[in-house]
């Protein structure tokens, strides 16, 4: 488990790093890999861990649009709908295609929200120009 407070917060414990690197080549300083791990944790029900990891990934690479979108998904899974919508807006503004958000199961919690529908409609129009 990643430490969420105190010394070493947001760091992946050495024991996890060693196990992951031996089995999959995981590098905790690789933003993309950490982002994938964050989404995995959130999908498996550990949204707290997913949030810690996605924040670490985004700190490593703050401009990666896929990480921004993944944070939206993790925030939605955590029930943080306002934050999820903020991340979606940021991802769409930076060029992430809104079409996937229409069917992404991680976004089921926000899909019925009026703001979600407006975001997808507005950015879908921009992409079609």
Contacts (Cβ under 8 Å, ≥6 apart) of 115: 85
Assess if residue 8 is contained within a domain.
no
Which among 49, 71, 47 is positioned nearest to 59, based on CA atoms? 71
Assess if residue 49 is contained within a domain.
yes
CATH code of the domain in which 52 resides? 1.25.40.10
Q: For the CA atoms of 81, 57, 14, 106, what is the dihedral angle to 10 degrees?
A: 40
Q: What DSSP state is assigned to residue 12?
A: P
- Residue 96 belongs to domain spanning: 14-128
Contact 98, 123 (CB under 8 A): yes
Residues 92, 119: Cα–Cα separation, whole Å:
8
Assess if residue 6 is contained within a domain.
no
Assess if residue 90 is contained within a domain.
yes
pLDDT in tens, the chain (129 residues): 444 444 444 444 444 443 444 445 667 789 999 999 999 999 999 999 999 999 999 999 999 999 999 999 999 999 999 999 999 999 999 999 999 999 999 999 999 999 999 999 999 987 766
Assess if residue 78 is contained within a domain.
yes
Assess if residue 61 is contained within a domain.
yes
Structural domain count, the chain:
1
């Amino acid at each position: 488990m990643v430490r969420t407070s105190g010394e070493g917060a947001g760091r992946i414990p050495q024991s996890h790093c060693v196990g992951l690197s031996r089995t999959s080549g995981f590098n905790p300083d690789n933003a993309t890999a950490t982002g994938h791990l964050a989404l995995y944790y959130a999908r498996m029900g550990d949204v707290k861990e997913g949030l810690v990891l996605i924040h670490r990934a985004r700190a490593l690479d703050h401009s990666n649009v896929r990480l921004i979108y993944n944070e939206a998904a993790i925030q939605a899974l955590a029930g943080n709908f306002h934050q999820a919508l903020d991340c979606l807006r940021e991802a769409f503004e930076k060029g992430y295609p809104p079409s996937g958000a229409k069917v992404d199961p991680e976004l089921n919690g926000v899909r019925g929200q009026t703001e979600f529908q407006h975001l997808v409609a507005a950015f879908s129009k921009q992409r079609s120009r």
